[in-house]
Amino acid sequence: MSDLAISAEHSDLGQYEWVRGSMRHAIAEVRRFEATVPVTCGVIYGDGPELLVDVMTSSVGLIDWGGVAWGPLLYDIGLWTSRLRGRARKRFVEAYRSYTHLSATELSGIDLYHRLRLADLARYFAWRTVHISSHLLPDGRTNELHLAEVRERLLASY
């Protein structure tokens, strides 16, 4: 599956076996897609949209570059469009496509990469819940609350 190193067997997930199943399913979906559709790879941001907005100038900057990798551009598109709907999603995809020239066939896989990202987030929060317990995250919520939210988003993505 491209060069993205994502595994369903990674780490102890405790009582969250559903996460491992979600990872297996998402990985299998992407592998089936990539077996029939050539995907464009390049440098991807690889992490959730983290923006810093300067309220004085309205400038927007992308922060937290720790997830940069080489992988399918669809991964980033799926990640960035995960909270966009309707016209906003369409505009984002059109703008991205104007710079990358992805085919319509390739773009048909966006939702598969979106689910892969959600399953990977579920794995991340499940691991944190098992190993780090209920420490508050910077947004004041616990790992358990994030995991529940990601599970809802994952289920709604089908």
The per-residue pLDDT for 2 is 46
Question: Is the CATH number 2.120.10.30 carried by domain 17-156?
Answer: no
| pLDDT for the residue 31 | 94
14: CB partners within 8 A, 6+ apart = 126, 129, 130
- pLDDT given for residue 4 in this prediction: 47
Query: What would the two tokens of residue 41 be?
Result: 């790879």
pLDDT value, residue 100 = 87
Triad 48, 50, 55: Cα angle to 5°: 155
CB neighbours of residue 8 within 10 Å: 18
60 Cβ neighbours under 8 A, 6+ residues apart: 51, 52, 53, 54
Q: Along the 158 residues of the chain, how does pLDDT read in single tens digits?
A: 444 455 555 567 778 889 988 998 999 999 999 999 999 999 988 877 777 788 888 877 777 777 788 999 999 898 888 777 888 888 888 888 888 889 999 999 999 999 998 998 898 888 888 877 666 666 667 888 889 999 999 999 88
Determine how β-strand 51-54 pairs with β-strand 59-62: antiparallel
Q: What are the residue ranges spanned by the domains of the chain?
A: 17-156
The pLDDT score that the predictor gives to residue 3 is 43
